[in-house]
Amino acid sequence: MSSRPDLPTYRTLLTDVDAGVATVTLNRPRQRNAVGDGMREELADAYQRLDRDDRIRVVVLTGTPPAFCAGADLGSGEDTFAAPGVGFSAAGIDVPAWTLGKPVIAAVNGHAIGLGLTLALQCDIRFFAADARYGVVQVRRGVVGDASSHWVLPRVVGIARAAEILLTGAVFDGHRAVELGVANRVLPAEEVLPAALEVAHDIATNTAPMSVAASKRLLWDSFDLDRAAVGARETAIHLALMGHDDAREGVRAYLQGRAPSWTGRPVDPTAG
């Protein structure tokens, strides 16, 4: 088995892997990393390949400075949204970050506008640059928010704040992003990626792969479940995990004051 995932050379992405953490960088700097030239398809491909590789525990999504992602490529001018094209979908990408069995951390190190922000909203944890600008601005361009933002935002920030973001299309900074609940943490731009990588490596080293995969899946699925169903899923997950050596290894490592040595795969053991 090779030491690195089976990743091709992408036109619009850069990839790097270190100790179980994969960094995917949106890389169209002349277009401020706007989504175009096959970026949707390449990001979906990278997500799928990284999700299949058990050596990868965490994915960090970032952008080549000074932007994270300027949203849709407006290179066609006023015709950008004039016609949907064959097979159009507003899904953003075919493989949302929430579908991966491992955490995806958005290191939003610069401006994230429109699709740039809604792609970040599909991630599990989001660190934002303080002085960059953010917004789901599509209503100011004659369309609407995409990438399932009308499903994600009300559940993440509440319907009133989601309405403020989606119906005004207003732009805000990183401090306001934290106030709104869009971002977990706000930092100077140059500290965003290092902070995200620090959290990613902590997860990769100290958390059990199956536990994290199961917890992530239940977190996102809980949007569509009632309290009793969530409780039943938690019980089923515990029953599956308690039969695995990682449930013993976690306690052993803690009592012995050492880093754990996990043997489980980063998949939900209860997934059908």
Confidence of residue 80 (pLDDT cuts 50, 70, 90): low
Pair 138, 217 in one domain: no
Determine, yes or no, domain membership for 132.
yes
Residue 107 β-bridge partners: 127
Pair 128, 235 in one domain: no
b vs e for 194-203, b when ≥16 Cβ sit within 10 Å of the residue's Cβ?
ebbbebbbeb
> What is the percent of the chain where pLDDT is above 90?
87
Confidence of residue 3 (pLDDT cuts 50, 70, 90): low
pLDDT tens digit string along 161-216? 999 999 999 999 999 999 999 999 999 999 999 999 999 999 999 999 999 999 99
Q: Which domain CATH number covers 236?
A: 1.10.12.10
Structure tokens at 221: 């699925």
Determine, yes or no, domain membership for 8.
no
Pair 105, 225 in one domain: no
Pair 161, 247 in one domain: no
Structure tokens at 255: 């009592």
Pair 70, 193 in one domain: yes
Boundary of a domain, candidates 204, 221, 236: 204
Pair 165, 216 in one domain: no
**Region 33-39 average pLDDT:** 93
**Contact between 165 and 133 (Cβ < 8 Å):** no
Determine, yes or no, domain membership for 150.
yes
Pair 87, 52 in one domain: yes
Determine, yes or no, domain membership for 191.
yes
pLDDT of residue 4: 67
Pair 195, 214 in one domain: no
Domain limits for position 82: 13-204
Please check the confidence at residue 1 and state whether its pLDDT lies above 70.
no
**Region 36-52 average pLDDT:** 96
pLDDT of residue 76: 55
**Average pLDDT for the chain:** 93
Which residues make Cβ contacts (< 8 Å) with residue 89, sequence separation at least 6? none
Question: Which of 83, 132, 88 has its CA nearest to residue 109?
Answer: 132
Pair 96, 122 in one domain: yes
Determine, yes or no, domain membership for 98.
yes
In whole angstroms, give the CA distance from residue 7 to residue 216.
Answer: 24
Pair 90, 103 in one domain: yes
Q: What angle do CA 201, 17, 3 make, to 5 degrees?
A: 115
pLDDT tens digit string along 200-213? 999 999 999 999 99
Name the domain count of the chain. Answer: 2
pLDDT of residue 165: 98
Determine, yes or no, domain membership for 35.
yes
Q: Which domain CATH number covers 78?
A: 3.90.226.10
Q: Checking DSSP bridges between strand 104-108 and strand 58-63, what pairing results, if any?
A: parallel
pLDDT tens digit string along 239-259? 999 989 999 999 999 999 999
**Contact between 20 and 57 (Cβ < 8 Å):** yes
Pair 243, 164 in one domain: no
Residue with tokens 């938690």: 234
pLDDT of residue 182: 98
Which residues make Cβ contacts (< 8 Å) with residue 231, sequence separation at least 6? none
Pair 180, 213 in one domain: no
pLDDT of residue 40: 93
pLDDT of residue 86: 64
In whole angstroms, give the CA distance from residue 176 to residue 135.
Answer: 11
Please check the confidence at residue 159 and state whether its pLDDT lies above 60.
yes
Confidence of residue 2 (pLDDT cuts 50, 70, 90): very low
Determine, yes or no, domain membership for 7.
no
